[in-house]
Amino acid sequence: MDIIRKERALSIVTKLKSYSYRRLLLSLIILGGFGFVRIPIEMNTEKMLKEQGFRDWSPSMSAREQLTQASFVGSIGGFRSLIASIYDLRAHQAFRDKDWASVEKFRGVTTSLQPRFAKHWDLAAWDLAWNAYAYYRNKSEWAEDGVESWQMKNIMMPRYLEKGLEFAKQGAEWVPESYRLSMVVADIYSQKYNDPELASQWYLKSSQADDAPPYVFRAYATHLARCEGKEEKAYEVTSSLYRSTRFGTRALTLTVRRDMERLEDHIALSAANKMSLEQLESAALSNGSTYLDYAKLGMHLLEVKKDLKATLAVYREIVNDKNAPLFYSRKLLMLLARNPANQEQAYEALKKLLKRSPEIFRRQDLIEFTKLETSLGASKNNREK
Amino acid sequence: MSADKVKSVKDDLVLQHKLFSLSRVWAIAFNTFTQLVRMKVFYFMLIFSVLIIGANFLFLNFTFEQELKILKDVSFGAMTLFASIFSIVGTALLIPKDIEDRTLYTILTKPVPRFEYLVGKLIGIIFLVAVSLVLMSFLFFAVLYFRQHGILAEEIKMIRGGATDAQKEYLKETIFAQGVRPELILGVLAVFLKAAVAAGVALVVSTFASSTLFTIIVSLVVYFIGHAQSLALEYYFPEGQIHGALQRFIAGIVAVVFPNLQMFNIFDGLITGQSISTTLMFRLIGLTGFYLTIYSMISWILFAKKEL
Amino acid sequence: MMAEEIIPAVQINNLTKIFPVPFRKEKVIAVEDLSLRVEAGEVYGLIGPNGSGKSTTMKVLLGLISATSGSSAIFGLSSSETASRGSVGFLPENPYFYKYLTGAETLSFYGKLCGLSRRKIKERTSELLSLVDLENARDRRLGGYSKGMLQRIGLAQALVGDPRLVVLDEPTAGVDPAGSRKIRDLIIEFKQRGISVILSSHLLEQVQEVCDKVGIIFQGKLVKEGKLEELIEIESQTEIILEHADPKILDQINKLVQASEETRLLRSGKPKTTLERLFLKETRAESEDVRKDA
């Protein structure tokens, strides 16, 4: 009896592993001591990680409340990126369901989980400022109820536009090294708010990033050219763009060419209105004058003095200047055509020019050219009769 | 047998015995590795392959950034999961099993110090984790490489009227920036370091736990608390904030006792293009070494006089 | 004078092992004040019922657990030192090994733990596998071994480091008589090679044939110890066994006995073979028949 009891007790004992409590205490002391040695090192390491951009997400941030418990545990357990991707998918699903409130919420989670991933911000801005905005615009157009339509137009559309803009701006702050998000901000200002001034500022910011493609700077130039009162700066940017051959294809320089002409006309016209003939003449004749000084003088003669002959003489000077853009040849010929005696000669020259460089003819130029052609044809017919 | 002869036996024994023998440690480590390999743990590679190849076909109409990101996220998630499971479950499975099956008797009655047994087991498991991570990385990098080239070809095809060389170059640059990059290897290394510390935790637990299940549960709890460590530290050393004394005390205990595993989570940053400094990487390696040394020491203290 | 200088293979002095029961005041005394000594080259049998403290004593000797009081030493080295296990082979009761290793790999693993060179390991592996009749199972994993085979590979494992002391805990438990016989033969061989053996058993008969010295342990105490013959012989009796005995001679002997005053005849008849011997004889004959048929 006794033996059996002893045997049983023994097996329990060996299973429960009797170890000395002194050793347990010693190991706790070592563990504690180790803790005190490593904690300063680890805190420093955490600081370095923060500095190098590895601790952008703090679990105490507000987005934590929007995460499910499992996602939260996963996020601190080293699956933050994966969970951000899962919320990305959920946002995509919500987008397909046109559930914009959820889209906004999920995009908020992805961006706060991984704020340095530019694409999260990009998609957030895109979904709200473009997709949600367009959805409510369509809805307001088709709504039968006037109140509903008004609500869509005046509450929902501006709301999502603002949200989208906010995402893009925050993203630009988080990922300043990439051109993308400042470009998105600029796009929103340009396409949605129709504000070339703010758009140009953001395009400029975007174009300064290392990875910016050349069209961002062109966008900056075109938007600047549309800002009132900034013509001088715009002309500076546009002309430098116009002269630098490294940019782009013919089609793309077309806007630059148009801006160039418009800005030069604008500058010439304002100078022509502000300054006297003497001042303009002396500026044109001084050393180091450019074709633009002649253009100002020509504009004055044409618009203020209404002296076509003198204007033509000045424009001939401009055309002879190699630096002057080609559109001055067109301007000269158009002016020449105003005198009926020179009409035919001017028409032939314009025809040649149009064949050679169609890109310098604007829409109104083509209309005038057609008019000239018809009137010439009519007079020819008359003469033949 | 004469007295002289027996006396010389004692001297022989003292002389021949090595206090620490790397070959014995290696024998135990390699045995552990072999054992796990023959338990067919590498079947997990099948699951891993299905996961990361599957991740490619799930989201085809997304942007290339999203596609490549999901591939990387799924792969790294799976690597973290497998590495941590192997290190914890492997350790918990083998040491208590040796004790339960009394295989340990035959090992420790050879001239093997208990410390060598513990270190050998730890090295064996860490070695297994390393090999499995290398295998997973190979597959992952291969798939990622294949994918980034596939995406590049698709994007070039999508440009109307054919892409210019400059456009091709630009696409290549932007797509490949999200693809195979040397920094990702550092991400794998960090996953490995974290798993090694987790193995150390499981080693300590298995020296006083009496069963596999208990070891696994306790180690997993430590593993999770280890990730919430930085939260505890925020409490303990708040920046400008003052918390209750009790809260700070508890948080302090947590920070001192539990390992900081959050430290090794650098993949989230690496994926968004952050680069990690060499100093920081060496620091992580050094801290891992520090952890393993201390944990081996503690397990030895607990195990040295354990009644088997 | 000289006797004191001789270092025995095993020396256990006043060993007491008490296991505390956690959360309780009472304690379990597994071994109490036990002393024993195994001389070099001697075979020592420790016998006693289950739970009497045989295994505990061996565990203390091998350093698997530590003594509560008293000491134990192998070749003069305390059991608490790892070096004391430098020349020991141990076969635990019902041994269990890594079932994912083959027989050869198992021996090679233990060889490495003993610090043998690679060449030596190769030699020892083949040698020991043939010694324990496992050459055919050399490359089979231990998961597929029978109990007897495991016992044999356990024995080979114990011998891999060429030990000078072999500790066997219930070596014949659960092994068929042929296997037991094989183990007994091996023990005799160890003895011839000067290897000391300490073995435990709860089956008295097995021990009889091989042990030089026997200790009987009961409830943690060594109750009797001594040379086997001395322990079992009955001093007042004498045995005569005759072959082809003539009835006349038997009659004469009977008369002589009756004539004597003190001598009494207790028993006469045909001696019985033991069941075990009969089993061995029969199975051997059978297997020889099979071989002849083939």
Q: Does B243 touch chain C (CB under 8 A)?
A: no
Residue-level length of chain C? 294
CB contact under 8 A, B237 and A119: no
A neighbour chains, 3+ CB pairs within 8 Å:
B, C
Interface probe for B, chosen from A11, A17, A73, A210 (most Cβ of B below 10 Å), is A17
Q: Please say if the pLDDT value at position A10 is more than 60.
A: no
CA-based nearest distance A29→chain C, Å: 23
Structure tokens at B239: 């920046």
Per-residue pLDDT band at C2 (split at 50, 70, 90): very low
> What's the mean pLDDT when you consider all of chain C?
82
Q: Please say if the pLDDT value at position A63 is more than 70.
A: no
Q: Could you tell me how many CB contacts below 8 A there are between chain A and chain B?
A: 156
Q: Does A18 touch chain C (CB under 8 A)?
A: yes
Q: Does B255 touch chain A (CB under 8 A)?
A: yes
Alpha-carbon distances, residue C60 vs A333, A360, B302, C73, C78 (angstroms): 117, 105, 18, 10, 10
For chain A, state the CA radius of gyration: 36
pLDDT of residue A248: 46
pLDDT of residue C274: 62
Structure tokens at A268: 């010439």
> What's the mean pLDDT when you consider all of chain A?
82
Q: Please say if the pLDDT value at position A245 is more than 70.
A: no
CB contact under 8 A, B17 and C86: yes
The sheet carrying C77-78 orders its strands as C27-38, C10-20, C69-74, C77-78
CA-based nearest distance C21→chain A, Å: 6
CA-based nearest distance B163→chain C, Å: 59
Q: Does C227 touch chain B (CB under 8 A)?
A: no
Q: Could you tell me how many CB contacts below 8 A there are between chain A and chain C?
A: 31
CA-based nearest distance B136→chain C, Å: 25
Contacts of B232 (CB under 8 A, 6+ apart): B251, B252, B254, B255, B258
Q: What is the mean pLDDT of residues C96-103?
A: 88
Q: Are C161 and C110 a contacting pair, CB within 8 Å?
A: yes
Which of 76-135 (B) contact A at CB < 8 A?
76-77, 80
Q: Does A14 touch chain C (CB under 8 A)?
A: yes
CB contact under 8 A, C19 and A3: no
Q: Does A211 touch chain B (CB under 8 A)?
A: yes
Q: Which residues of C touch A9 (CB under 8 A)?
A: 19, 21, 28
pLDDT of residue C279: 59
Per-residue pLDDT band at C1 (split at 50, 70, 90): very low
Chain A residue with Cα closest to B72: A82
Question: For the domain with range C2-232, which CATH number is right: 3.90.1200.10, 3.90.550.10, 3.40.50.300, 3.40.50.2020?
Answer: 3.40.50.300
CB contact under 8 A, B10 and C7: yes
Q: Are C199 and C46 a contacting pair, CB within 8 Å?
A: yes
Q: Which amino acid is at B205?
A: V
pLDDT tens profile C150-190: 888 998 999 998 898 999 988 877 777 777 888 888 888 88
Q: Are C43 and C213 a contacting pair, CB within 8 Å?
A: yes
pLDDT of residue C167: 92
Q: What is the model's pTM?
A: 0.81
Chain B residue with Cα closest to A52: B276
How far is residue C271 CA from its own chain's centroid?
Answer: 28
Q: Within 13 Å, how many C-alpha atoms sit on residue C147's CB side?
A: 10
Interface probe for C, chosen from A3, A4, A5, A8 (most Cβ of C below 10 Å), is A3
pLDDT tens profile C259-290: 887 777 777 777 666 655 665 666 665 555 55
Candidate from A316-325, A341-350, C220-229, C264-273 with smallest mean pLDDT: C264-273
Interface probe for B, chosen from C1, C98, C169, C192 (most Cβ of B below 10 Å), is C98
Q: Does C22 touch chain A (CB under 8 A)?
A: yes
Enumerate the β-bridge partners of residue C89. Answer: C166
Chain C residue with Cα closest to A6: C28
Rounded CA-CA distance B257/B249 in Å is 12
Which of C79, C32, C59 shows the shortest CA–CA distance to C222?
C32
Q: Does C24 touch chain A (CB under 8 A)?
A: no
Q: Please say if the pLDDT value at position B244 is more than 90.
A: no
State whether residue B175 is helix, strand or coil.
helix
Helices (H) and strands (E) counted in chain A, each on its own, are 20, 0
Would you list the domain boundaries of chain C? 2-232, 247-293
Q: What is the mean pLDDT of residues B126-150?
A: 92
pLDDT of residue C290: 55
Alpha-carbon distances, residue B193 vs A116, B257, B282, B283 (angstroms): 24, 19, 11, 11
Residue with tokens 């959805």: A135
Q: Please say if the pLDDT value at position A54 is more than 70.
A: yes
Q: Which of B12, B103, B107 sits opposite C113 (nearest CB)?
A: B107
Q: Are A37 and B308 a contacting pair, CB within 8 Å?
A: no
Q: Are C16 and C68 a contacting pair, CB within 8 Å?
A: yes
Q: Which element (helix H / strand E) includes C196?
A: strand C196-201
Q: Is C191 left (phi over 0), alpha (psi -120 to 50) or beta?
A: alpha
Q: What is the mean pLDDT of residues B39-64?
A: 78
Q: Does A38 touch chain B (CB under 8 A)?
A: yes
State whether residue A219 is helix, strand or coil.
helix
Contacts of B209 (CB under 8 A, 6+ apart): B92, B96, B215, B218
Which of 175-234 (A) contact C at CB < 8 A?
none
Interface probe for C, chosen from B2, B4, B13, B107 (most Cβ of C below 10 Å), is B13
Q: Which residues of C touch B7 (CB under 8 A)?
A: 5, 7, 76
Q: Please say if the pLDDT value at position A191 is more than 70.
A: yes
Q: Please say if the pLDDT value at position B21 is more than 90.
A: no
Sign of CA dihedral B27, B32, B35, B36: negative
Q: What is the mean pLDDT of residues B85-89?
A: 91
Q: Please say if the pLDDT value at position B67 is more than 90.
A: no
CB contact under 8 A, A31 and B275: no
Alpha-carbon distances, residue B178 vs B65, B272, C133 (angstroms): 7, 8, 62
pLDDT of residue C193: 86
Which of 46-65 (A) contact B at CB < 8 A?
46, 48-49, 52-57, 59-60
CB contact under 8 A, C22 and A16: yes
pLDDT tens profile C37-87: 898 888 998 888 887 888 889 999 998 888 888 889 998 888 888 888 888
Q: Which residues of A touch C25 (CB under 8 A)?
A: none
Would you list the domain boundaries of chain B? 18-304
Alpha-carbon distances, residue C134 vs C146, C149, C286 (angstroms): 11, 7, 22
Q: Please say if the pLDDT value at position B252 is more than 60.
A: yes
Pairwise pLDDT comparison (B55 vs A20), residue with the higher score:
B55
Residue with tokens 């193995």: B199
pLDDT tens profile B204-242: 999 887 788 888 999 999 998 888 776 656 655 555 455
Enumerate the β-bridge partners of residue C141. Answer: C102
State whether residue C116 is helix, strand or coil.
coil
pLDDT of residue C278: 60
CB contact under 8 A, C82 and B18: no
Rounded CA-CA distance A345/A341 in Å is 8
Q: Which residues of B touch C194 (CB under 8 A)?
A: 1
State whether residue A247 is helix, strand or coil.
coil
Rounded CA-CA distance B223/B262 in Å is 10
CB contact under 8 A, A54 and B65: no
Q: Please say if the pLDDT value at position A268 is more than 50.
A: yes
Q: Does A213 touch chain B (CB under 8 A)?
A: yes
Q: What is the mean pLDDT of residues B194-202?
A: 95
C neighbour chains, 3+ CB pairs within 8 Å:
A, B
Which of 152-191 (A) contact B at CB < 8 A?
none
Pairwise pLDDT comparison (B43 vs C165), residue with the higher score:
C165
CA-based nearest distance A381→chain B, Å: 46
Q: Please say if the pLDDT value at position A251 is more than 90.
A: no
Q: Which residues of C touch A18 (CB under 8 A)?
A: 19-20, 22
Q: Please say if the pLDDT value at position A188 is more than 80.
A: yes
